[in-house]
Amino acid sequence: MATIEVFNHNVPAESDFGYSQAIKSGELIHVSGQLSLDDAGEFLYADDFAAQLKQTYANMDKVLDHYGVTRNQVVSQVLYVVNLRQNAAATAEGNLAYFGDHRPASTVFGITELTFPGQVIEISFVVDTKLPA
């Protein structure tokens, strides 16, 4: 029988919306969309794509660290980007910098808005814990 382990950042949105940041079921970890929230759950860097992307990746690292896994075990990701044409190059550069030589499956959606005013990026992903770190 597969075990389930839930992870939260303990920010208000988790209880307000009724979700977890991540859930590990068996060997897979499904991670909710990460964005530029600080440790208190406050949204940071409205309309600043580069700063939001940096904070989003830092929050992704918190999830990975909690489960003792690495970026090399991320098998897929979905990126939601406001003004994709304007932010496409920065999205690609950030992705390459974050993952290095690792290439997870990736889907990028250009969208009109996200949850917070000024939010321009959100990234969800799946991790396979059986892959080499």
Domains within the chain, CATH numbers bracketed: 5-128 (3.30.1330.40)
pTM score, two decimals?
A: 0.94
Report CA-CA distances (Å) from 121 to 44, 52, 105, 115: 12, 7, 18, 10
Distance (Å, rounded) from C-alpha 51 to C-alpha 55?
Answer: 6
Calculate ∠ Cα 1-8-34, nearest 5°. 110
Q: % helix / strand / coil in the chain, to the nearest 5? A: 35, 30, 35
* 27-52 pLDDT tens trace: 999 999 999 999 888 999 999 999 99
Residue matched to tokens 């969309």: 33
* 66-97 pLDDT tens trace: 999 999 999 999 999 999 999 999 999 999 99
